[in-house]
Structures are given as structure tokens and as C-alpha cells.
Amino acid sequence: MDIITTFEKEAGKKHHSLRWRFRLTPMRLVFMAIAVAAIAVILVRFIFGLGAATNLNDQWPWGLWIAFDVLLGVALAGGGYGTCLIIYVLRRDKFYSIARSTMLTSLLGYIVVVLGLLIEVGQWFNFWRPYVSWGHTSVLFEVFWCVSCYTVIQILEFCEVATEKVFRGLHKYLKKAMPVLLIVGITLPTLHQSSLGELFYIMVGKENPLWWSVFLPPFFLLSSFFVGAGMIIVESSLAGKAFNHKVEIPVLRGLVRISGGAMILYLILKIVDMAVKGTFANAFAFDLPSILFLSELLFGVIIPIIIAFSSLSGTRKGLLWFGVLDVAGVILNRFDVVFTGMGKYLNQYGGHYFPAWTEFIVSLGLVSIACLAYLFIVENFNIIEHRGTEAVEGTTTENGDYAVTAK
């Protein structure tokens, strides 16, 4: 299945050759199928309400869509700001090769989050309300402003890439604006990543003390930072397969080390937190929350730290393990905060929630759409092969095709 579909844009044809390409592979057809199913479910949700498409109820007003699409989406897309910080602000130039792909993942992640939120909230048409009615005491207010502004900034940042190909006249302006965009684009996620954690601080007594903590903001911030490296590894190994392109080991290893450092800080903070709250007994009670809490730390933090600072991080296999465990750890953490942590309280009088299949479909569908968008953009814009040292114009082949054609 190696069909190459080539779209030609009529308008573009007159001025310069502008070609859009998108290969259809079986995997992409699967993505498309899931996306179509998700869109169908989303239609049902909009016509018949949340009750028709989800298992959400009055005991569980937040479910899979919040946990997966929002909390996890934002966390996993967090690699973007971390990489920006390392490359642009701290000028660790050796990581420059991954800058664009990481930022693209981040952008798509945030678009998924925003789309997910629009589907998730009851009165989506009122999404703009917080811009005018400032509920500034709400942590969610902070999250809302930061996420929406950051998404806009990321779009502008991406425009800097996009204008290499379309609307080229704007490129120089965007390039000039980049420093400001970058700095604001690092500040905002730092704030809302922590705020996402702080969201649960008001649920005192409802959230399990294993997760409820005064340190929720740093926990969420640090974990969103160190999951960045994991995401880059996972993403680059997946994309590497698709585009036959591999990121060099030293680059990844460097990232893993930085990430490992953040993990150590995270681990210390967790231990301090447990000591302060006196929850060691809860952590080692070996009931469901305790087991999940411990596996979060063991598999998601401790083992990755060991990999990061041992020779294992010099091998592709070791790096992949780091990536997988790191990402899985953060996934588990966010799910624990929303589900395991709230479960005992919300279910105490017979409450119950397990996501409906339709909820899974929508979540998977959003991810599929993001994947398709990623693949499309990578094939059509200068993302993967981008090197800082090369002149931008030079890499543009005559037909505007950046993708390395797979065998």
C-alpha cells in the first residue's frame, strides 16, 4: 500500500509549484476510520447531550475526557515548552534537531485538548465566557487563559514554519516575533501545567491523600517537564518508522539525563510530601490506591532514573524503555488523580463510573486526528529534516516535498 496522493492547489500553481501530498497507508486508514467513528459519536453528544455519549453522572462529573484528553493531553504535549526552554533560552544547540518536531507534537496536543474541551463542556458555545466574565478566583480560570493563549502562540510559532511554504510574505514578521512568542510560550505552560495540579487542591478530603498535596502544582509541572523526553523518544521512534528517520542517540541521551534530573527532584519532593502528610502507611497499605501509587513511582520514576544515569541510556533499547516507562508513569499518575484518587470518596454511597465505549472512541479519535495531522504536516513541511545550520530555502525541494519517501 504505497499510494501517493498528490493534491495540487490551483491558486498556488500560477505562482509557484505548491504541492500537497499525503500517503495512504493501512495504519492511516485505521486512524481515519477511528476519526470518522469519533466524529459520529461527537455528533451524538452534541445532539442528545453528554448523557447519551458518556457514562458521566452526578457522582462522576469528570471522566475519561477530562483525564485523558485534557490532563494527559496537556501533560504529554508538555515536551514542547521544555524543549523550547532547553534549546532557545538555554541554547543547548545540540538538541536543535528535534525542536520543530517536538513543538509540532505539542501544538497538535494542545489542539486536541482544546477540541476535547469543546466536546466535554456542556455549553461549548459559551467557551468565551471566561474571557469576559472573569472568575479569577478559579484555578480553572488560570488554566483556561493559559491554555487558550498558549495554543494561539503555538499556532503562531508554527506559522513561522508554515510560512516557509505558504504566505511566505509573513515569514519575516513571524521570525522577528519569535523571541517574544518563545518566552511567553514557555511562561504560560509553566503556569497552567502547575495549575492543572492545583485544580484538585480544592477537593480536600475528596481526593485521596496519596495524591492530594500542597505540592500538586510542582508535581504536575515537573512531571509534564520530564515526560517531554519520554514523548520525544516514543514519538521519534514511531515517526522514525514511518519516515525512516532516526534521532541521534547522544541527542536523546542528553534529553533523558535532563529529564532524569527532574525526576530525581520529583521523587525527593514526593518523599518530602509523604513525610509531611504522614502518608507512608497509606502508601504501603498495598490496597489498590497504594499499589497504583507505588507503581507510578517505581515504574514511572525510579526505573527511568536508573536507566537515565546508567549505560542503558546509551542504547536505543534503553532509551525506548525510558520513554515508554516515563510516558506510562505520567499516564498512570493523571488517571490516578482523577479516578483512583477520587474513587473511594465518590463511590462510597454506590457511585460508579467506567467510561463508555463511546468515550474511548472519542478519545482515540482525537488522537487519531492528531496523528493524521502530524503525518500530513511532516510530509509537507520542513519538520524532521530541519537543521539549524542549513538554510531554510535550501531544503525546499522543487515540489515542496520534505518527506523522505519510505521504501
Q: Does 43 bind another protein (CB under 8 A)?
A: no
Across-strand partners of 17?
none
Applying CB under 8 A, which of residues 1, 26, 123, 407 lies at the interface with another protein?
123
Is 170 among the residues that bind another protein (CB under 8 A)?
Answer: yes
The residues with which 5 forms a beta bridge, in sequence order, are: 22
Q: Is 383 in the site for another protein (CB under 8 A)?
A: no
Question: Do 322 and 301 contact (CB within 8 A), yes or no?
Answer: no
Smallest separation, CB 365 to another protein (Å): 20
Q: Which residue has the cell 514519538?
A: 235
The answer to whether the CB of 51 falls within 8 A of the CB of 122 is: no
Q: How many residues does the chain have?
A: 407
Name the minimum Å distance from CB 351 to another protein: 4
Q: Does the footprint of another protein cover residue 158 (CB under 8 A)?
A: no
Task: Select from 41, 50, 98, 331 the one that contacts another protein (CB under 8 A).
Answer: 50
**Is residue 41 near another protein by the rule CB under 8 A?**
no
Q: How far is CA 164 from CA 23, 174, 374, 390, 402, in A?
A: 22, 11, 17, 14, 12
Residue numbers 196-255 binding another protein by CB under 8 A = 198-199, 201-206, 217
90 versus 238: smaller Cβ distance to another protein: 90
# of chain residues touching another protein (CB under 8 A): 81
Residue 125 corresponds to which cell in the numbers above? 458555545
Question: For the window 172-191, what string marks contact with another protein as x by the rule CB under 8 A?
Answer: -x-x---x--xxx-xxx-xx
Distance (Å) of CA 378 to CA 34, 149, 228, 326, 404: 21, 24, 19, 25, 10
CB nearer another protein, residue 31 or residue 212: 212
Q: Is 147 one of the binding residues for another protein (CB under 8 A)?
A: no
User: Shortest approach of another protein to residue 407 CB, angstroms?
Assistant: 31
Query: What are the residues whose beta carbons fall under 8 Å from the beta carbon of 132, sequence distance 6 or more?
Result: none
Q: Is residue 20 at the binding interface for another protein, with CB under 8 A as the rule?
A: no
CA dist 291 and 297 (Å) reads 10
Per CB under 8 A, does 282 bind another protein?
no
Compute the least distance from the CB of residue 356 to another protein, in Å: 12
Least separation in angstroms between CB 10 and another protein: 6
Q: How far apart are CA 225 and CA 217, in angstroms?
A: 12
